[in-house]
Amino acid sequence: MRLRAAPVQALPRMVSITPRHWRRPPTPAQASDAAHEPPASEDLPVTQLDRSRALRLLAWACAAWIAWELLYYEQFKLTGNQGSIDGVFQPLATWFGIPAHEKPIRLGVGVLEIVASVLVLIPPVRLFGALLTLGLMGGAIFFHTLGPIGLDPYGDGGGLFKEALFTFAAAALLAWLHRDELTARLRRLAPRAFPA
């Protein structure tokens, strides 16, 4: 495989991090768009190969953070830690008007976080894990800011809220890195709403 240097004047094209072997073969209508596909990796300039590798590493870093962050807090949610109950889920259950149902809310959130953390570590379904994490962390941010939990429920300077913000940002970045896959899936689901 021979690599050629990129011209100094040319800006490198954006390279998708979704490997070609994960993509479905193009339909006859999409075959005409083959001219718009990025070149095969052996034809890419060195700078594009480096950028593609860097983006894949960034995606793995985001996925690792999300999985670690979500799985770390499962020890408190699933065991019924008093801080998790009193600081987060009992105020939520009371705010929803169902104070006796704290446990199903806590366990439901815990199960969804486990699912999201597993999905982000499996590259073919990483996008779904990132989107699920966006939803979970978006809900956490909402309930911290506008709901009953508050920005600093444990008196530690808002550590839980800051971690929710950072995890939301990591999930958003991961979804953005997989935007080509998201666009392709949306086009398959609603071709009229998302024309090619």
Contacts of 192 (CB under 8 A, 6+ apart): none
What pLDDT is attached to residue 42? 59
pLDDT tens digits in sequence order for the chain, 196 residues long: 555 554 444 444 444 555 555 556 666 666 665 555 655 555 556 666 688 888 889 999 999 999 999 999 999 999 989 988 988 899 999 999 998 899 999 999 999 999 999 999 999 999 999 999 999 999 999 999 998 888 988 888 889 999 999 999 999 999 999 988 888 888 888 877 777 6
Of 8, 32, 6, whose CA–CA distance to 196 is shortest?
Answer: 32
What pLDDT is attached to residue 145? 92
What pLDDT is attached to residue 150? 86
Domain definitions of the chain by residue range: 51-189
What pLDDT is attached to residue 161? 92
Predicted TM-score (pTM) of this structure? 0.73
Of 127, 133, 154, whose CA–CA distance to 16 is shortest?
Answer: 127
The CB density around residue 42, as the number of other CB atoms within 10 Å, is 9
CA distance 118 to 112: 10
CA distance 17 to 21: 11
What pLDDT is attached to residue 18? 55
What pLDDT is attached to residue 36? 58
Owner of token pair 């699912």: 115
What pLDDT is attached to residue 127? 93
What pLDDT is attached to residue 58? 93
What pLDDT is attached to residue 40? 57
Buried b (16+ CB within 10 A) or exposed e, 82-99: eebbebbbbbbbeeeeee
Helix ranges (DSSP H) in the chain: 28-31, 46-72, 74-79, 82-84, 90-96, 102-120, 126-145, 159-177, 179-189
